[in-house]
Chains A and B, each alone.
Chain A
Amino acid sequence: MKEKLQPFHIAILVYTTQAGIVVFTLPRQLADYFGTNGWLFLLVCYLLSAGNIGLIALVYKLGGGRPIFEILEQSLPKLILYPVYVSLASVWLMFGCMIGKKYILLFQMISFPTTNPMFFKLAVDVLIYLLLAKGIYTISKAATLFFWMTIWMSLLLLWFFPSFRWERLTPFLLQGGHDQIKGGIELYSAYLGYELSILFFPYIDKRKKAMLAIQLGNTLLTLNYLSLSLICFGFFSWGQLKKLIYPLLDLLAYIQLPFIERLENLLYGFFLFLILITVVMYWWAAEVTVMRIFPRIKKKGLTITLITVSYCISFIPKTLDEVVSWITNLGYVTIGIAFGLPIVLILVLLIQRQGRESRA
């Protein structure tokens, strides 16, 4: 029998998929778009994502744990579905690809600024291939390992306590921001990743706990984001935070130990683990979707093809700004998918149920 994902692993997998590149800019975006005490917006994001996960749980319940493709194919013709699958797969593939590229461009800002970024991208893609080739069960095991290798970094926030001042937070709630709708969508992409759990259905064992695990992963992520943002709002002044493009990098660079300085180069490397899982999961989702169109295709060949395609696409945007705008636009679509897909599935399931009842 195929091994199933345990709730603990699901929680970790969801958390590591969600934790990605946005964390570097998150506190600044909160301060910039939502103004004073912008970190409160994280709570809104949390409620929305928790609601979205609720929808996914509903799909699971109504569908009795059937894979989503089965549900769709039962009611909709393949002529309609296949283009949808192709679009889903391409969005997920490119989203993952751009996240990887952004990490590398950021990495290059700190070290190796003139080396061709595509060399690093290739190295990272090889790692991703190795993970992807092993399948979801091994990915979740690796995610658990990566989780323990990175979660300790939250303790580094203690370093900033002595310089933290509540006065800097100000008593003003969400004042002085701008473009809140655009900012809200951009910030919400920091939570993306949980929506892929809709593809976990065939791999889950225990019903209730699995959905709870997804919620727990999302909650852990929120707590992490909240603590980071709160520290940023009290450590930096509001005006300063708005000017720091990557506040997390500045935080890391501020840590000095008696025997070593400029730790950020080292610490930044640890984030690769989180990014790897994020990218791997998006590509895995793309792969699973394409597999549905070509069920007889060799998995290995498909993996290599997908990675090659995405590698070629990642040549297109050259600068950080270009990558950011790709991510933003793809983020809009991914958010649409995150909410749209479960809603469509619920509608299909309800129609199917009605059909069954009327037949009975």
Chain B
Amino acid sequence: MRRMLAIVVVICLLAGCESDERILEQMALVQTSAYDLLENNKIRVLSSIPVIEPDSDVQRQLLTAENDSIKEARLIFSRETDLTVVSGQMRNTLFGISIAKAGLARYIDTLLRDPSIALGVKVTVVNGGAGELLSKNYKSHLDTGRYIDHLLEKEASVNSIPKATLYEFSRDYNDDGVDPVAPMVKDAGEKATIDGIALFNKDRYVMRIPARNGLIFALMKNNLKQGEIALNMGEVEGRKLVVMFSSLLSKRKVKVHHLEGERFSADIHVNVRGSILEYTGQEDLTDTDQRKKLEEDIAAHVTARAEKMIQDMQRNKVDSLGIGQYVRNSLSYKRWKATEWKDVYPRVKINCRVKVKIKDYGKYI
């Protein structure tokens, strides 16, 4: 009797889940989605779905829809495919420059609300049309979505672009002392390339930091455990003087000083240690004094580039380095609330104090 009852209960319970049954072969697992704002204010959504049929020639399927919301697109996709479209395996979201300029907050909100989407989904800005980039086929890569995803991951691991996921974007967007950033990619004919870093004022894209300055930006923003940069330090006897500074380790500290009349100054102290991999100059690296001089030259060069970059950011009122967090933490709550940070920020005197230490210079004199 008891056993019978148990069997009946189990059957009832198992039958209950039928409506939520998921069979992998019948799923369209969206991997990358691209969003563009059209001129009629509609949104074009393009999603890339890997094809898992073993005897299929194509690696991916593209679904596209034009409508008013990004979730509505999924319903339209549904009508175009025999599979159930789900977003639980989403890795990357590409936002075209048009939509990034208009503001990303509401799209990020929508993505965050969906319990099937994790905080680790990447947020990327495309310099151009996001849909165009994602739909393009690159010769040596069968799946553009995955290609871009891997490209971003690898570059973020060496800090030439910041890591930007829904978590980082929404964290900085909701913080009153820092603005969000995202990596920027573009189509470069034969391949897709990193185009730099997109800086946002609140949720609107405002300016770009070129890719070659990516590491300088990272040095000013975070402590680094990895990185590489080629420094073009002018010319010596008609030849370009290039220093390749690699295996970087850096520590950053920010100190805020209060000046007279609602003004602040901030010192960004950066200590960098790294190896020299390439050096085309005349100095003898084995000589301590000359090496010291090179260290100072590198520090001066980095400082100059960083300060110029920061001036640009101040002019555009984007506080991507999070100076506001440090200013906020140096004030009382009341005073911070009374401060219009975005108005104060351009007038903050920001000094970079970079110290460089050459750890080693390779295995050849």
Contacts and interface: CB of A to CB of B under 8 A. Distances in A.
20 contacts: A110-B116, A112-B17, A115-B17, A115-B19, A167-B177, A167-B322, A167-B326, A168-B325, A170-B328, A237-B171, A237-B172, A237-B174, A237-B175, A238-B174, A239-B175, A240-B174, A254-B118, A256-B120, A262-B89, A262-B118
A142 B17 CA distance: 28
Interface stretch (B8-16, B134-142, B243-251, B278-286): B8-16
Contacts, number: 74
Nearest to B172: A237
B7 interface: no
Interface string A85-123: 000000000000000000000000111111110010011
Interface core residue of B19, B88, B174, B328 (most chain A CB under 10 Å): B174
Nearest to B325: A167
Nearest to A167: B325
B20 A115 contact: yes
A254 B329 contact: no
A36 interface: yes
Interface of A: 36, 109-116, 119, 122-123, 126, 167-168, 170-172, 175-176, 236-240, 242-243, 249-250, 253-254, 256, 261-262, 264
A239 B169 CA distance: 12
A114 B9 contact: no
Contacts of B336: 172
* Interface size, B (range): 20 to 34
A239 B176 contact: yes
A109 B175 contact: no
A239 B120 CA distance: 19
Contacts of B234: none
B118 A261 contact: yes
Nearest to A126: B9
Nearest to A171: B329
B119 A250 contact: yes
Contacts of B326: 167
B333 interface: yes
Given A112-B17, A262-B88, A236 B333 contact: no
A122 B9 CA distance: 9
Contacts of B329: 167, 170-171
B109 to A, nearest CB: 8
A175 B12 CA distance: 52
Contacts of B325: 167-168
Contacts of A254: 118-120, 167
A123 B10 CA distance: 9
Contacts of A109: 115
B170 interface: yes
Contact of B120 (A236, A240, A253): A253
Contacts of A249: 115
A110 B177 CA distance: 33
B242 to A, nearest CB: 32
Contacts of B118: 253-254, 261-262, 264
B174 A243 contact: yes
A263 to B, nearest CB: 9
A250 B113 CA distance: 11
Interface string B289-332: 00000000000000000000000000000000010011011001
Contact of B175 (A119, A122, A240): A240
B210 to A, nearest CB: 26
Contacts of B89: 262
A256 B122 CA distance: 13
Given A122-B9, A240-B171, A114 B115 contact: no
